[in-house]
Copies of this chain bind each other. A is one copy, B any other.
Amino acid sequence: MNASINNIRNKIAEKGLKVTPQRMSILEAIYNLENHPTVEQIIEFIRKKHPNIATGTVYKVLDTLVSNDLVKKVKTEKDIMRYDGLIENHHHLYCVVCDHIEDYMNAELDEILKRFFEENKIDNFIIEDIKLQINGRFIIHKNVNR
């Protein structure tokens, strides 16, 4: 998932948001960092080119990006927020060993779930979306982030 500078600029502008260097580089960071980065990792990445960005700004920009559907929040067991540049509804693989999170999408699975819950309505509850948290372990660990 990479996006050119102009691509990133457009994504921000399309939402009617002001295009600032801070917003650009935060979105760029999320697209470049694999494994659903933490705020800390995002800040570390950005400071290479933009050493003076304020922590509060990063949090504020992330909130803006999330509420404009440019980024999603991902919560882990570990209780630190992480961010995901993939916007479409999808599931997550969580490695219990190395903390790596991988996106998982499968249309057939979503169809099966949809059908199941059509046939098995939940009393007093209207489903909006379903996310699977698939816990397990990677056989070959890729990039261990922490």
A128 part of interface (Cβ distance < 8 Å): yes
Copies in the complex: 2
Partner among B77, B96, B112, B136 whose Cβ is within 8 Å of the Cβ of A112: B112
A1 part of interface (Cβ distance < 8 Å): no
A126, B122: Cβ atoms under 8 Å? no
Best-surrounded residue of A96, A116, A124, A127 (most CB of chain B within 10 A): A124
A146 part of interface (Cβ distance < 8 Å): no
A120 part of interface (Cβ distance < 8 Å): yes
Partner among B93, B104, B122, B126 whose Cβ is within 8 Å of the Cβ of A104: B122
A87 part of interface (Cβ distance < 8 Å): no
A53 part of interface (Cβ distance < 8 Å): no
Interface residues of A in 34-88 (CB under 8 A from B): 73, 75, 77, 79, 81
Interface residues of A in 116-145 (CB under 8 A from B): 116, 120, 122, 124-140
B128, A137: Cβ atoms under 8 Å? yes
Partner among B106, B109, B127 whose Cβ is within 8 Å of the Cβ of A134: B127
What residues of chain B lie closer than 8 Å to A125, measured between beta carbons?
93, 95, 102, 134, 136-139
Partner among B79, B96, B124, B136 whose Cβ is within 8 Å of the Cβ of A75: B79
